[in-house]
Structure 1
Amino acid sequence: MTAPLEAMPTDWQSCLAIVAHPDDLEYGAAAAVATWTDRGAEVGYLLVTRGEAGIDGIDPSRCAPLREKEQRASAEVVGVRSVEFLDHRDGVIEYGVGLRRDLTAAIRRHRPELVLTLNHQDTWGGTYWNSPDHRAVGRAVLDAAGDAGNRWIFTDLADDGLEPWGGVRWVAVAGSPNPTHAVDVSEGFERGVRSLLAHRAYIEGLTDEDPETYCRNFLTGTTRSAASRFGGRPATTFELFPR
């Protein structure tokens, strides 16, 4: 795709980012988050799992607390103070009413204007197959953004004090093969690198490459690729769904 990307809206103050695993936000979106928190926006993270199945050489019982610790450190780098975990099982998240309810509850609790998630499509573009966890969570986020405002869905949530929230104005999907919008990350790039690098144990289990070199090369490649459609500016891309 070669059509120019539009700038992401900036007339909002609150965002909730919902993804499946620690590290999902750091492969690009965190650099944009850094630019948002710089202007005073409030961004919270909700992780559906603790990523316990993500490192082949580390047993899940030891991996979960390690990855949680890395995620909290990673969020701090880009100015995010609120990091929550839902404790669904890593690798076997199921799309369905239960997941939608959990995400609806979170959206009603945080009351964001912008909801951020990761690619829900079958692939990352071409034939590079996407994770079932990413697909399940991304689709459930898109649905829960609407469910949050419907008082006749999950009526028990209101009994727990979570009144309907119809204030979600957009859902932004990071890593989509069909991006429509972008954020200039010139100012947030270095923090994006450090934020990804905070997942050191995960990266060391993923590649033999020097972790900092790996992080910098990956983010340099993706932001430069987006620049060709965004006025030459290094950018993180999103597929934006208005509500």
Structure 2
Amino acid sequence: MTEPTPSPLQPMPEDWRRALAVVAHPDDLEYGCSAAIAAWTDAGREIAYVLATRGEAGIDTLPPAECAPLREREQRASAAVVGVREVEFLDHRDGVVEYGPALRRDIAAAIRRHRPELVITLNHRDTWGAVAWNTPDHLAVGRATLDAAADAGNRWIFPELTGQGLEPWNGVRWVAVAGSSSPTHAVDATDGLERAVRSLLEHRTYLEALTDEDPETYVRGFLQQYTAAAGERFGGRPAVAFEVFGR
């Protein structure tokens, strides 16, 4: 019995101007998503990053107090490569981010500050394609982001935010989940792929701790394989795939 042929991925919605990307750690967006970010900023769209942690528990050889500022600097440099100027950190503890009202409130506050039409996050499910186990931080932040897109528009869920001058924002029209095993849409990565490579290479300290392979060889190989796999369902062009939830 043959496997069913996956349906083609649809182009991402285009009628938006502002997006907010919310993930757990430095480098989460660079592992595949930044080629799409580069294409969007080239088109004049405004994109900001919000990270729940500073990735301070991510390098075994560096104590968190040394690691956090280093990874923050690498993330800001990485974002700049793809045209993103605003990078915020929520300072939840790396490795032990908890899903719950505190995280939802912090993300809802960020959504109210930036007032995006599109919110981007990372795979919030238990596994990566039923092959590798996902991390608790990704699960917590991805799920909280999906919920906070609605929380941001409800003045009665976190009323203290209004007192801080953050009026409700009910303008989020889509939440796009990168790294999903059930993608529905995609962005052509052709023009943004080289900058995606350079963007991930800005995480040099992390990459050198992660692999003994030459960092550029590792990064280029990973991103080419990642975007080629999505491109098989997007007309054969390198692509970044998303699972898109409308609101």
- Is TM (by shorter chain) over 0.5? yes
Q: For the superposition of Structure 1 and Structure 2, which TM-score range results when normalised by the shorter chain?
A: over 0.9
Residue 163 of structure 1 and its aligned partner are, at CA, apart by: 0.6
Look up the match of 2:76: 72
Q: Residue 158 of structure 2: which of 154, 158, 164 is its match?
A: 154
**1:17-57 alpha-carbon deviations (Å, 9 max, x no partner):** 00000000000111100000000000000010000000111
Instruction: Say whether residues 1:233 and 2:200 are aligned partners.
Output: no
Query: Take 2:177 and 2:230, find their aligned partners in 1: how far apart are those partners?
Result: 15
Query: Take 1:34 and 1:127, find their aligned partners in 2: how far apart are those partners?
Result: 29
Indicate the percent of aligned positions where both proteins have the same amino acid.
70
Instruction: Say whether residues 1:29 and 2:33 are aligned partners.
Output: yes
Look up the match of 1:187: 191
SS, match of residue 43 in structure 1: strand
Instruction: Say whether residues 1:85 and 2:89 are aligned partners.
Output: yes
Look up the match of 1:9: 13
Q: Residue 167 of structure 1: which of 164, 168, 171 is its match?
A: 171
Residue 90 of structure 1 and its aligned partner are, at CA, apart by: 0.1
Q: Residue 113 of structure 2: which of 109, 112, 126 is its match?
A: 109
Look up the match of 2:210: 206
**1:156-182 alpha-carbon deviations (Å, 9 max, x no partner):** 111111110000000000011111110
Residue 126 of structure 1 and its aligned partner are, at CA, apart by: 1.6
- Runs of at least 4 residues off by over 3 Å: none
SS, match of residue 18 in structure 1: strand
**1:87-125 alpha-carbon deviations (Å, 9 max, x no partner):** 100000000001000111110011000000000010011
Residue 152 of structure 1 and its aligned partner are, at CA, apart by: 1.1
Instruction: Say whether residues 1:123 and 2:119 are aligned partners.
Output: no
Q: Residue 139 of structure 1: which of 134, 138, 143 is its match?
A: 143
Q: Which runs of 5 or more structure 1 residues have no equivalent in the other structure?
A: none
Paired letter, 1:31: A
Query: Take 1:154 and 1:35, find their aligned partners in 2: how far apart are those partners?
Result: 34
Q: Which runs of 5 or more structure 2 residues have no equivalent in the other structure?
A: none
**1:49-76 alpha-carbon deviations (Å, 9 max, x no partner):** 0000001111111100000000000000
SS, match of residue 87 in structure 1: coil
TM-score (norm 1): 0.99
Residue 10 of structure 1 and its aligned partner are, at CA, apart by: 1.1
Residue 151 of structure 1 and its aligned partner are, at CA, apart by: 1.2
Q: Residue 43 of structure 2: which of 24, 35, 39 is its match?
A: 39
Paired letter, 1:36: W
Instruction: Say whether residues 1:50 and 2:76 are aligned partners.
Output: no
Query: Take 2:230 and 2:90, find their aligned partners in 1: how far apart are those partners?
Result: 32
Query: Take 2:111 and 2:180, find their aligned partners in 1: how far apart are those partners?
Result: 22
SS, match of residue 137 in structure 2: helix
TM-score (norm 2): 0.97
Query: Take 1:151 and 1:91, find their aligned partners in 2: how far apart are those partners?
Result: 31
Residue 138 of structure 1 and its aligned partner are, at CA, apart by: 0.1
- How many residue pairs get matched? 243
Residue 127 of structure 1 and its aligned partner are, at CA, apart by: 3.1
Query: Take 2:63 and 2:160, find their aligned partners in 1: how far apart are those partners?
Result: 37
